[in-house]
Homo-oligomer: A and B are copies of this chain.
Amino acid sequence: MSEKPRDTALVVFTPSGKRGHFPLGTPLLQAARSLGVDVDSVCGGRAICGRCQVVVSEGEFAKHGIRSGADHVSGVTRAELRYAEKRGLAPGRRLSCQALLQGDVVVDVPPESQVHKQLVRKRPEVRDIALDPVTRLYYVEVEPPSMHRQSGDLERLYEALDRQWNLSELYTDLRTLQHLQKALREGDWKVTVAVYHGHIRSRNRIIAIWPGYHDKIYGVAFDIGSTTIAAHLCDLQTGDVIASAGLMNPQIRFGEDLMSRVSYVMLNPGGDREMTAAVREAVNALIGQVAAEARIDMNEIMEAVFVGNPIMHHLLLGIDPTELGGAPFALATSGSKTLWASEADLTMHPDARVYVLPCIAGHVGADAAAVILSEGPHLQDENWLIVDVGTNAEIILGNRHRLLACSSPTGPAFEGAQITSGQRAAPGAIERVRIDRETLAPRYRIIGSDLWSDEDGFEEAAARTGVTGICGSGIIEAVAEMFLAGIINSDGMIDGAMADRSPFVQADGRTFSYVLRTGEPEIRITQTDVRQIQLAKAALYAGARLLMDRLGLETVDRITLAGAFGSHIDVTYAMVLGMIPDCPLEKVSSAGNAAGTGARIALLNNRARREIEQVVQRIEKIETAVEPRFQEHFVAAMALPHKTAPYTNLARAITLPAPGTRGGERGGHQERRRRRRGARV
């Protein structure tokens, strides 16, 4: 270090490592900006927003050849004190817009001061996402008009945004223009604008204006399912989910499943408009709920993102879904769609931008696109199979080089429908089943209780809800356990000889049933139920297999089960049944509500929108209905299990718990945790 007085000093920013020399007196924020260091600011250096906080490191930094210290920047300013009083400032923190360079310093930018802060996700196998908001707030001071300089208020606002924020090529929504003059004067020529950074980053559109300083801006991510609609309200400046809510899809009154809703439209002219109105009404109810829960003004919601299957996607947008009801299942569009909230009659800020993710194919929706965005199969090298099971299974397979998608007609058996004692996953439904290999006696657990049916207190606990039926995960475990116990053979036939050995196997007309529970209601698994599960799992397997054929694969490297079903079933049993192809068991996992996560990613990250649009375009779409090999695979996959090798391995993998203990169930604990975290989703 030189002894003679200098007029510049070295600044090193951590963690980026970016460094440069600046004149003494330069605000740290300005130094950061000229170096391209990511430091947030809404107020533009006026000590109002407090987003530009940094820590000046203390000590010798041999690596940089400097000694750094708090005394190498100017003292705390009055503006900073005002901020600290009003909103608090942690010890050691400085507002980088106020701290002026006085000597060499190492300056740490904490994560929360970064615009593109990482949104850390809880599952280690998926990537984190950086916050990269599409709509941002900018506080700006506008030159007042004068008789000597005739120009429009809007044009002076543009000039100020260009000068103070380096934003050019600006456009403005008409509604904002209508409020502009009043806001400027109410705010004494200081306003905050929300700028939507549309498709092309350089195209900037002012979509809202507030007088003075304003720092609240929110977005909502929606997952429109056929059965339920879920909403997550996010703070667009932190990325945090601040409220969530869910509702039954009111379209159910027009038809329980998707095809019956399309039929409703075909039979009732204008039926699509009724259903569009119904889903938008539900969305608005959810907006009201989350806004009330978070105590925010609905007018501060400036963004919404929607995902859903193709029929939900079309109905939300006001597009008649009739074409999706029959071959060739033509989508109106397979592109993403951006619209104003007012165009979809949504009760948020009328100029809020609504982004709808692209559908992939006639049966593979924007929800599947969102699953891809959440999981990122297109970013890695393994052959990754992702399955989202509903009435149809949406199946994705591939890696960074190729990505394939198809939909397979599993039918509703996996959701507990069309099963003798079947029901939706709800308190009272049997969700776990074990069968004693000797006595063939069943043990089970119901949703709403942690106790197995042979544990003390089970009946008391079950009395609250009753034992009402068996849900999707329950029926899968029941069939798999029946198979492992030898009650059904690999053709899926219930072995009548077992009826002699155990009272739980009973004749049932010409075939046999397995009785899980006697009493009212009696819960049994019939031969037909086993067939339904065989058909469903064969369809699922055949779809996956078809995609594997295309890639020339015999096994896959990784399997992820997405959606509510995926998070409830025990993947081991899914493999026992041959629902999914061969894969190392430790590489099979559940992604939970990946579609909802994908919607949230698209809400918070602009680049993610471009990413999924590009990925969807290059996905190879396979239509199972016209692939002859699908039928072959389907027929071959009816057997239980279709191969010996995985069966043997898997049978070993299943550790039967000792009666009365709760250990050993991979699925059970995970699922309880998940249900507690996001019960309404």
Contact = CB atoms under 8 A, between A and B. Distances in A.
A48 to B, nearest CB: 26
Interface in A342-399: 343, 359-362
A155 to B, nearest CB: 5
Given A152-B335, A335-B155, A621-B150, A145 B178 contact: no
Interface stretch (A93-101, A318-326, A481-489, A571-579): A318-326
Nearest to A276: B178
A318 B182 CA distance: 13
A180 interface: yes
A304 to B, nearest CB: 14
A355 to B, nearest CB: 13
A72 to B, nearest CB: 46
A113 interface: no
Interface string A303-334: 00000000000000111101100011111111
A518 interface: no
A148 interface: yes
A343 B155 contact: no
Given A177-B337, A337-B177, A359 B152 contact: yes
Of all A-B residue pairs in the complex, the 3 with the closest CB atoms, nearest first, are A152-B334, A145-B330, A150-B621
A2 interface: no
Interface string A143-159: 00111101111110000
A174 interface: yes
A178 B328 contact: no
Contact of A332 (B146, B152, B320): B152
B334 A181 contact: no
A494 to B, nearest CB: 38
Contacts of A318: 174, 178
Count the copies: 2
Contacts of A178: 317-320, 332
A147 B332 CA distance: 15
A333 B154 contact: yes
A333 to B, nearest CB: 4
Contacts of A335: 152, 154-155
A153 B337 contact: no
A625 interface: yes
B623 A147 contact: yes
A248 interface: no
A1 interface: no
A339 interface: yes
A320 B181 CA distance: 8
23 contacts: A146-B328, A147-B327, A150-B360, A150-B361, A150-B362, A150-B623, A151-B331, A151-B334, A151-B621, A152-B330, A152-B333, A152-B334, A152-B359, A153-B330, A154-B332, A155-B333, A174-B317, A177-B317, A177-B332, A177-B333, A177-B337, A178-B332, A181-B323
Given A147-B625, A337-B174, A181 B332 contact: yes
A626 interface: yes
A329 B148 CA distance: 11
A150 B622 CA distance: 8
A148 B623 contact: yes
Interface string A130-150: 000000000000000111101
Contacts of A329: 145, 147, 150
Nearest to A356: B174
Interface in A508-551: none
A360 B151 CA distance: 8
A359 B318 CA distance: 38
Contact of A333 (B148, B153, B361): B153
A594 to B, nearest CB: 22
Nearest to A182: B320
Contact of A174 (B152, B320, B339): B339
